[in-house]
Structure formats: C-alpha cells, structure tokens
Amino acid sequence: MSRLGDLGARLYRGEVGFDFVSRRMIWYCVSILITIVAFAGLGIRGLHMGVEFEGGAVFTTPPTEVSVEEAREVAEDVSGSQALVQTLGDDGEMRIQVSGLSTDQSNETRAALAEELGIPTDSLNAEVIGPSWGSQIANQAWQGLGIFLVLVVIYLAIAFEWRMALAALIALIHDLTITVGVYAIVGFEVTPGTVIGLLTILGYSLYDTVVVFDGLKETTRNFTKQTRYTYRELANRSLNGTLVRSINTSVVALLPVGALLFIGGGLLGGGMLNDIALSLFVGLTAGAYSSIMIATPLVADFKSREADIRAQDRKVLAKRAKREEEQRGEAGADEAGDTGAEAAGSEPAAEPADDSGAAPVAAGAGGTRGPRRQPVSRGRGRGRPSGKRR
C-alpha cells in the first residue's frame, strides 16, 4: 500500500487526524477575508460583460501584420467604446469585440476599421448582436442559476436534513462569490462559456459536499447511543475519513482544467478556453476548500445548537471528566504504593541473633527468614508396603 493510501486508511480508522472543526474560526475568517477582496474587486473594477449579454458587434479580421495593441487602439478610437481583441491562431487573424453598438454604428465601425487596418471592407467579417437579445440571455442565465440552487437545497433537505442543505447553500454561494470576484480582478470577459463553467463548478462543489455529508450522516447515525465523542468530534472524525478521497477527486479534476487554462488558453491563445478554464479552475479550488473547511464545520455549529445534541455533549463531557478523575486517582494510589514500598526497602530491619550465636540476617538482603527446609531424602519410604496402613 502506498503512503497516501496508508494515510487514508489511518485517517478513516481515526488513528491520525487533523482537527478541522475546532479550528473552524480560522477557516471562517479566511473565507470572509477572501469574500471581502472579491466584493472589492467587483466594486472597483466590475465585470466585463461580453457582447452576448450587453449587445454589440464582433469583427473577425483576415491575417494581418497589425499587433493586438494597435488593433485595440484603432477599434476604441473608431467606435468610442471599450474593445476586446483576441488572436485566433498563429497566422495573424484577430477577433475584435466592441460592446454597445447598433447596426448603423457597426457598419461605420467596420468601414473605419478596414481602412485603418489596411484591409478590404468585405474581408472584415462583422456579426451584430442586439442588446435585447443579450439582455434575454443574461436573464435566462440568472434564472437557470437560481433554479439550480433551489433544486440543490430541496434535494439535500430530503436526502439529508435542512441544516446540511443550508450549509451546502452557503458553501455554494461562497464558491460563486470567489469565482466572480477573481473574474472581476483578472478582467476576463464574461461570456456564455463563463456561465457554463460556473454551473459546472457548482456541480463539482456539490459532489464534494455530498460525499462529506454522506460520511457525516453515517458516522453520527447512533450519536445518542455512545458516550465517547461529542458531535463536533464525530464530525471531525468523519471529515478526516473522507479527506484523502476529496483531495484526490479535486486534484484529478484540476489537472486537465489547469492544462486548458495555462497551456490551451495562455500559450495557444484559446479565446473562449480562457473563460471556461478560469471559472473551472477557481471554482474547483474554492469548492474543494469549502466542502472541507466550511460545510462540515457549519453543520457541526448548527447541530450543536439543538437541545438533544447539547444534552448528549454534556453527558459525554461529564463521563469523560469522571473517567479522567478516576484515572488520576488510580495513578496517585499507584504512585503512593510505589513510594511506600521504596521507603520500606530502603531501611532493612536486622534479625536478632538466635541462641546459637549466628549473625543476624538483614531482611531483603538475599537471606531467608525462619528454619531452612531440608531436601526430602530419596530413600525415605523405600520398602514400605503399599496400600493403606491399618
């Protein structure tokens, strides 16, 4: 068995473990700090919505010698709006996206771009997206996200309980907030691919949370019938039992997503690959963190407020204190007995001399007290008739 597998087995049996639940205030503070940074990014920079949501025009150029920076400056000067320019492959083709353009403005911008870039107007492909269609797409995306969250809460409340459903919902909102905040800070464009990535990471985050909650439900099934662990301690044991499994699942999912983000998008200029890969990478990382550090400690906090759970925890702690007191008493008695024995053995008493004038023998010094036993003679009893003596 590998070291990781051996560690997983020891975590599952409770032989080793990390106390996540008792350190929950640390994880809460870290999550709050990250959330504040995410909201600050949203407030300062905001989200760069794509033309699919705001409307506008998308121009695709033929191979050209113009750089990306030059094309962006030309597009912004001509249209008067912010432009997003991406390269398409290595032959010099570019995708120029300008938001908030009507059809007439798009035609004027197309002609001016073709003139500034030195290419024929017919070679510059233009696609116009109306603002009403973009607004409709945005509303449908928000509706889909809301329906997803409602269905998740209903399912978890039926499969587990409402406290776990509430904790899972908080973890999902936590993951969404962090992902959207990173999008705002990095400045990536929000496209339909971003929405697909967000829904995908919610599914992965929910999967990790369900795995952890299933172990928690199984571990605490007979909580009131035992007196060894409190609810928070059982929750922590359950979390350690599924820790290696959750980490392995998250790492295996992050490897191909990282390849898409850093190789496919970063080195090859993947365009929409960046939008999907960034949301997946950030969301999967946040989901693995929240399922371990946030979801289970929240459930433990919610459950510990119940009257029967508090009563059982007090009973467990009282019996534990009683056992510890008994052990301390037994240890003190053993220590006192050992001290008395050492004191008795350190001052040996001398035996008085007998009538024969032999020297006294100290007790415990290797001598024996009382008359010596003589070995039984081997010839004793020989020739005596067998049977009972009359």
DSSP character for 84? E
Query: Which residues share a beta bridge with 128?
Result: 57
Do residues 110 and 205 both lie within one domain? no
Q: Is the pLDDT of residue 127 over 90?
A: no
In a domain, 140, yes or no: yes
Do residues 156 and 270 both lie within one domain? yes
**Residue percentage of the chain with pLDDT more than 70:** 75
DSSP string computed for 289-327: HHIIIIIHHHHHHHHTTSHHHHHHHHHHHHHHHHHHHHH
In a domain, 373, yes or no: no
Q: From CA 311, how far away is CA 224, in angstroms rounded?
A: 9
Output 84-87 pairs: Cβ under 8 A, ≥24 positions apart.
Answer: 84/48, 84/50, 84/189, 86/269, 86/271, 87/269
Task: State the burial class of residue 361 (Cβ atoms within 10 Å of its Cβ: 0-12, 13-18, 19+).
Answer: middle
Do residues 181 and 220 both lie within one domain? yes
Do residues 155 and 61 both lie within one domain? no
Placement of tokens 């365009």 in the chain: 271
Do residues 200 and 264 both lie within one domain? yes
In a domain, 187, yes or no: yes
Do residues 124 and 161 both lie within one domain? no
* CATH code, 269: 1.20.1640.10
Look over the chain and give the mean of its residue pLDDT values, rounded to a whole number: 76
| Residues in contact with 129: Cβ distance below 8 Å, sequence separation at least 6, in sequence order | 51, 52, 55, 56, 57, 58
Q: In terms of Cα–Cα distance, which of 288, 257, 286, 291 is closest to 274?
A: 257
In a domain, 337, yes or no: no
Do residues 45 and 116 both lie within one domain? no
Q: Please, are residues 94 and 68 in contact by the beta-carbon 8 Å criterion?
A: yes
pLDDT at 267: 56
In a domain, 281, yes or no: yes
**Pick from 102, 129, 156: which residue ends a domain?**
129
Do residues 84 and 188 both lie within one domain? no
**Pick from 97, 129, 161: which residue ends a domain?**
129
Taking residues 201-212, report their average pLDDT. 82
For β-strands 83-88 and 48-49, DSSP reports them as: unpaired
Q: From CA 23, how far away is CA 293, in angstroms rounded?
A: 9
Q: In terms of Cα–Cα distance, which of 298, 307, 322, 157 is closest to 232?
A: 298
Do residues 153 and 273 both lie within one domain? yes
Task: Report the domain count for the chain.
Answer: 2
Do residues 307 and 166 both lie within one domain? yes
33-51: pLDDT as tens digits? 999 999 998 888 888 777 7
DSSP character for 358? P
In a domain, 253, yes or no: yes
313-370: pLDDT as tens digits? 899 898 888 888 888 887 777 676 666 555 555 554 444 444 444 444 443 344 444 4
Alpha carbon 166 to chain centroid, angstroms: 17
Q: From CA 98, how far away is CA 81, in angstroms rounded?
A: 7
Find the domain containing 80 and state its range.
56-129
Do residues 108 and 65 both lie within one domain? yes
Q: From CA 60, how far away is CA 41, in angstroms rounded?
A: 31
In a domain, 385, yes or no: no
pTM, 2 dp:
0.69
